[in-house]
């Protein structure tokens, strides 16, 4: 039996010029598919969602904390820091 993992992911829409961050216990493919089909908000109107970054955790609370940390810092600033680091 596989251990449950939680993914913090960042997707980007070039046409909308926006990033979205979230966490999920689904596979990334399933989650992005739901953004296209079932999600309301900007991700449902973006047809060009691209996965930019993903980090896996075995602890749900750690994933939630990381998502909040990135949101607080700013997604673009976080990604820029990864490029420099």
Contact predicate 55/7, CB 8 Å: yes
Q: Cβ-count burial of 9 within 10 angstroms (0-12 exposed, 13-18 middle, 19+ buried)?
A: buried
- What's the mean pLDDT when you consider all of the chain? 89
Residue with tokens 């820029």: 80
The structure's pTM equals 0.87
pLDDT in tens, 21-49: 999 999 999 998 887 776 667 777 778 88
Q: In the predicted model, what is the mean pLDDT of residues 73-80?
A: 95
User: What structural domains and CATH numbers belong to the chain?
Assistant: 6-84 (3.40.1440.10)
For 79, the token pair is 């990604």
């Amino acid at each position: 039996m596989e251990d449950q993992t939680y993914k913090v992911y960042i997707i980007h829409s070039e046409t909308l010029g926006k990033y979205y961050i979230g966490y999920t216990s689904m596979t990334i493919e399933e989650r992005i598919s739901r953004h296209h089909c079932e999600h309301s908000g900007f991700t449902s109107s973006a047809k060009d969602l691209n996965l930019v970054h993903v980090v896996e955790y075995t602890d749900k609370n750690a994933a939630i904390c990381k998502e909040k940390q990135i949101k607080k810092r700013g997604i673009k600033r976080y990604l820029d820091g990864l490029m420099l680091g």
